[in-house]
Amino acid sequence: MAVASITVSETPLVLYTLRRADDALILGHRLSEWCGHAPILEEDMALANMALDLLGQARELYSYAAEVEGKGNDEDKLAYLRDVRQYRNLLLLEQPNGDFARTMVRQLFYSAFADLYWRAMMKSSDATLAAIAAKSEKESDYHLRHSSEWIVRLGDGTEESHARAQTAVDDLWAFTGEMFEVDAGERALFNAGIAVDPAGLRSQWLDTVSGVVGEATLVLPSNDWMQQGGRDGRHSEHLGHLLSELQSMQRTFPGVAW
């Protein structure tokens, strides 16, 4: 029978780490959905490679969250045995893959942020987070280069690819504001030098993204209304479906191992 969800004592540092772990896991899972379906073989490998990097980041972050919590949870329990409302990832990352352009726009928006974010986190006073950041930063840099090149190719490509890329930019734009949102618990971590304030990264992020989008002959929407809720567990309907696939084995056969 299905196994019940765990409870997590979300102290500020546990919650902070879980949010980043969930980001990496959910985006990694979305990218892995392309495996065997990508438009060309090289992209199949690229998307699976990036998914693997993100899964690796997620594992390190979950392990650390479990260690900080100290309640007997571990990376597997945190990934497999929390329900949709307990997930803390950005709404952007749970959005369905759509076509290849949509996946690449999502990747550009996130990796342009992750690259800056992890680079800043390398100076964290928390030694484990700083170490995870040092690995993740190089990986995000590589992911950003990959998605940037694709956005230019798609935007400045055919009429069809341009239209699809522009639609993806328009549709996903409202999910980008959440990357720069913080709450009171996180603010305390900034003051302690453990975390960085993402609001300070926004103008640099916008420079990178608008540079790529401009090169691609696409335009960023002028509408600045932003959707949020993922950080607090209020998700779009897509996450539940994603989790039912991601968690089905562990929920059906608790503790099953390879």
Partner 1 sequence: MVSTVFSDAGLRQHAWDTAATVVDPEIPVLTIADLGVLRDVAINDGQVEVEITPTYSGCPAMNMITLEIEMALEREGFRNTKVRTVLSPAWTTDWMSEDGRRKLREYGIAPPQAAGSRRALFGVQQVACPQCGSGDTEVLSEFGSTSCKALWRCKSCREPFDYFKCH
Residue with structure tokens 């039912």? Answer: 244
Nearer to partner 1, 70 or 211 (CB): 211
Backbone region of residue 22 per phi and psi (left: phi > 0; alpha: psi in -120 to 50; beta: other values) = alpha
Residue with structure tokens 């696939």? Answer: 245
Minimum distance, C-beta of residue 120 to partner 1, in the bound complex (Å):
15
Closest by CA to 20, choosing from 137, 103, 99, is: 137
Amino acid at the residue 197: D
Minimum distance, C-beta of residue 61 to partner 1, in the bound complex (Å):
10
- As a whole number of angstroms, the distance between CA 86 and CA 153 comes to 38
Site residues, partner 1 (CB under 8 A): 42, 45-46, 49-50, 52-57, 59-60, 127-128, 130-132, 134-136, 138-139, 141-142, 144-146, 148-149, 208, 211-212
Nearer to partner 1, 127 or 184 (CB): 127
Minimum distance, C-beta of residue 80 to partner 1, in the bound complex (Å):
17
Minimum distance, C-beta of residue 232 to partner 1, in the bound complex (Å):
27
- As a whole number of angstroms, the distance between CA 178 and CA 60 comes to 23
Minimum distance, C-beta of residue 112 to partner 1, in the bound complex (Å):
10
Nearer to partner 1, 58 or 92 (CB): 58
Q: Identify the burial level of 111 via C-beta atoms within 10 angstroms of its C-beta, where 0-12 means exposed, 13-18 middle and 19 or more buried.
A: buried
Nearer to partner 1, 94 or 126 (CB): 126
Q: Is the CB of residue 122 less than 8 Å from the CB of residue 108?
A: no
Nearer to partner 1, 13 or 144 (CB): 144
